[in-house]
Amino acid sequence: MAHKKNFVRGAVASVVGGLLAFAGIAAPAFADESLQNTEIISPAADLAEGQKQINIVSYNDFHGRLSNLEAFAAGSLTIADKFGAENTLFVANGDQVGASEFESSLQNDDPTMDALTALSEGSQHSFTVGNHEFDKGQEDAERIRQKLGGTLLAANVTKGDGSLLMDAYKIYEVNGVKVAVIGAVTESTPSAVSPQGIQGLTFGDPVAAVNKYAEEIEQAGAADIIIASYHEGGPTADLDTNLGNEVFSSMVKDTSDKVDLVLHGHTHYAYNYDISERRVLQAGEYGKQVGQIVFTVDADNKIVKTDSAVIDTIADKAPVYTRDGLSPQSQQVYDKVVAIKEAAYSEAEVLGAEQIGVVNDEITRAYTWADGAAVKDDRAEASSLGVLVADSMYQWANKNVAGGADLSIMNPGGLRNDIDGDGVLTYKDAQTVLPFTNNLAVVTLKGAQLKQVFEEQWQRDANGEVPSRPYLQLGISPNVSYTSDSSRAEGDRITGITIDGNPLNMDAEYKVVMPTFLAGGGDNFHTLAEGTMFDTGSIDLDAFTEYVKDLPGQELKVPTARPGVDTEGFFTAYGEGPTVKAGEDFTFKVKNFNLRSKEFLANESIDVKIGEKIVGTGTITGDTANGDVVEAEITVNIPADFEGKQNLTLVFNQSGTAAALPLTVEASAVSTEPTITLDKRYAAAGDDLKITVAGLQPNAEVALAFHSTPVELGTVTTDATGSATFNTKVPADATVGGHEVVATQGDTTISAPVTVANLEVVPDKATSEESTVGFFITGGGWEPEVKVTITIKGPEGVGEELTVTPDEHGLFTEHITWATYDQESGKITQDNQEFPVGDYTVTAVQGDVTVTDTFTVTAAGAQPITDGGKTPAEGGLAATGADSNLLVGGIAVALLIAATGATLVAQRRNA
């Protein structure tokens, strides 16, 4: 095993998560439960006389994933082989196509449909329509139906005259058992596809439709088993959470008890439930899982037992099943399916390989983080990819459309893949991001309508209900900035919008470029349908590729600024901020100011400006590592010389995000009280310091000094208002701790506090033998409870970074040692080793305060430390505890700090 030397910083490791055990609690006999079976179900060996079994293979949301086809086919056929193809029924639960991979999408998803129909050769195959089958309108949905053998079930989709668009159900005979499959698509389909393409169609309540046709089938005695195939599902994989969802609850509890099996799709989760003695199952997404349901029936074809499983076809990115394990008949089917894929790949290879640009960094959709793992495509968060695609439409429109556009918006569901930063951007890369080939439209809206569009990110469907995705974050072109307050009442959450730096005019007209899907009111942005739409006839993919070719060096770069910032409690009404008094502090909070893409640039500091004058700063708190919970408390002091309507500009220094906040400044009450303010409350010796005095005698000299031991800083003359500004430095020999800056004019003396921070390494020199006990890094005079970043650099490029948090007195202590740890496991194997000989520099940074100290390790004839007696170990500082590499000793250290004559004692603190 490889070992490495590094600094170790001692701390007690945190334990994340936990395990709760419950014993002696028995579930009720018919309680709802989540089943865990992931093994293929084999035929029963002990069937009673007259009993037999039928085998259902279920899948959903394949979405043209040809890359998964071999694994999907091998897994499905392995399941079919268990009972024989003739005793197996395949049931697909919608979105077989649409939002597909490049190779399928390029050919109108024909390869996918050919492969899926070939898969069930020797068996039977039922297909339910999904919302994506309507991506290109109802005429294309009919083409898809024909390609799938004329079977595409849609019990809840009716035409203007009330007749069905497609069959509601189909009955199959499987092993002598008549099985009816009733298909129904999500009622939210109109908000998920272009409204023009489904004009005249009604998407009704899927449960009511299933129940209607279940009754019809039952009355006719047409089937022994009835299956409800819903292209709709639960919002999570957790049973309790799903049961609390109105849509899911209706499907599982209101579906007629004449239905023997409920299959789901649409939400892409994998689950296998037993609810009220009926199986409810969804098989994940993209063919990576399939469902298996085995019905055991008696001689009268009555169900006596049901078994079910969700089976992985791909695990840890590798296929679970292969051709080798299949029967000869299934191998022939498998070969036919794979041949269809290979032909599709060959057809797409030439066009897909065309390079259209350069991209050196990942540009992604929004991510969430669950148990430390990234989960992509969070449509409720702003992403760098959403900003980029919106910008491409905006720039394209202003180049190619008469009259141009004022801004652009992009629906997050239209972004179906991320862009890898591998250096080369191909046509295929672009197409997988924008697979729908939507036309671009320019919609003219009044400012008030545009504000309402932004409000509709908090979603309501056409019936006024909150859908399964209650919030959708629009991608917005970077010339737009807006503020919101999610705590305000619905319809009043957008508090300000600026376009090209100008406030939105409610009565003016704005041209907004977007996909026609949105222009028709898609994704529940209903107000867009009220505007005047001009269809440009050009598609989003072509606009994107042209945008790339117009970039300098044709290089895509990652957008970092978020268009919207949440300012909870700041605004009193749209465009109206608070009224504050000049010269007084006020505080407010902001949230949601980071993009949430993978590897996003997290903001660390905020400046607040009026014009170019900085009047406040923000302290960011929360889990910025993943951006999960981040907010900033901002404190502003409006100078006495500001009055009336003003604009605060929040500048998020790392990302470039900016937000404009209006407020009204009232003149402070007339006061003869003199004041003194400093531009910083905490500083290091030698730092720049700006002193401002006001309320003194005009045109008179003021003496300035730094206490406790007085150091004269100089003099300044007040202006006609009795104010003055003086730029100086904190004395280089200022001791750690509290001090005052004192201004004196005649008999008037005023003062303002400033605390000087220090950093000291103890001891500052040791032999290599002595260094085995380690070094203490101590600090005092720092802002309490605000993280300090410490960087340690030593000989031969050795360097480590750690963070500490000063206690309530502004003190911290860290103990570092040299240790060996195993690179594979990360565990310490040997601590308290000799430091390499040389000079070390320790730098502490908190905000704009930076302090440096050094220590030296001298030679004492020690031999180089080796790893197991084989090769010299690599040098480096390790730390454990809060960082995976750093360890802090658990020793209390007395710090003797000469500040105001006090002796301070600091206990060790964990970073």
Query: Where does CATH 2.60.40.10 sit in the chain?
Result: 763-906
Question: What are the Cα distances from residue 233, in Å, to 63, 131, 272, 293?
Answer: 16, 13, 12, 18
Which CATH number is associated with domain 564-662? 2.60.40
Residues of the chain with pLDDT under 70: 1-31, 370-372, 623-629, 668-672, 797-798, 823, 825-826, 861-911
**Structure tokens, 802:** 């750690």
**Looking at domain 51-341, which CATH architecture does it have?**
4-Layer Sandwich (3.60)
- What's the length of the chain? 911
pLDDT (0 to 100) of residue 243:
95
Phi and psi at 812, nearest 5°, equal: -150, 155
Q: Say how far apart CA 184 and CA 336 lie, in whole Å.
A: 30
Q: Say how far apart CA 124 and CA 180 lie, in whole Å.
A: 12
pLDDT (0 to 100) of residue 826:
67
Q: Say how far apart CA 529 and CA 728 lie, in whole Å.
A: 61
**Structure tokens, 13:** 């490791």
Mark out the alpha helices in 328-422 (DSSP H runs).
Answer: 328-352, 384-400
Rg (CA), the chain: 34
- The SS3 call for residue 23 is coil
Q: Say how far apart CA 530 and CA 417 lie, in whole Å.
A: 31
DSSP 43: P
Phi and psi at 77, nearest 5°, equal: -70, -30
**Region for 718 from its dihedrals, namely left if φ exceeds 0, alpha if ψ lies in -120 to 50, beta otherwise:** beta
Dihedral of CA 680/685/690/694: which sign? positive
CA dihedral 316, 321, 324, 327 (to 10 degrees): 180
Q: Say how far apart CA 850 and CA 362 lie, in whole Å.
A: 33
Q: Say how far apart CA 515 and CA 416 lie, in whole Å.
A: 14
pTM of the predicted protein model: 0.54
Helical packing angle, 69-83 and 110-119, nearest 10°: 20
pLDDT (0 to 100) of residue 471:
93
SS3 content of the chain, % helix, strand, coil (to 5): 20, 40, 40
Number of CB atoms found within 10 A of residue 261's CB: 24
Number of CB atoms found within 10 A of residue 176's CB: 11
Which CATH number is associated with domain 367-480+488-556? 3.90.780.10
Superfamily, domain 763-906: Immunoglobulins (2.60.40.10)
Q: Say how far apart CA 652 and CA 478 lie, in whole Å.
A: 15
**Structure tokens, 740:** 């005052």
Of the chain, the end-to-end C-alpha distance in Å amounts to 30
pLDDT (0 to 100) of residue 629:
63
**Region for 191 from its dihedrals, namely left if φ exceeds 0, alpha if ψ lies in -120 to 50, beta otherwise:** alpha
Are 206 and 239 a contacting pair, CB within 8 Å?
no
Query: Where does CATH 3.60.21.10 sit in the chain?
Result: 51-341
- For residue 710, what are the contacts with CB-CB under 8 A and spacing of at least 6? 742
pLDDT (0 to 100) of residue 312:
97
Are 261 and 277 a contacting pair, CB within 8 Å?
no
- The SS3 call for residue 895 is strand
Q: Say how far apart CA 191 and CA 207 lie, in whole Å.
A: 19
Residue 352 CA, chain-centre distance (Å), reads 29
Question: What are the Cα distances from residue 84, in Å, to 259, 611, 643, 644?
Answer: 25, 76, 84, 82
pLDDT (0 to 100) of residue 31:
61
Dihedral of CA 389/392/398/403: which sign? negative
Query: Where does CATH 2.60.40.1930 sit in the chain?
Result: 675-755
Of residues 415, 640, 720, the one with CA closest to residue 544? 415
Of residues 757, 876, 891, the one with CA closest to residue 815? 891
Q: Say how far apart CA 807 and CA 527 lie, in whole Å.
A: 52
Query: Where does CATH 3.90.780.10 sit in the chain?
Result: 367-480+488-556
Q: Say how far apart CA 217 and CA 226 lie, in whole Å.
A: 8
Fold entry, domain 675-755: Immunoglobulin-like (2.60.40)
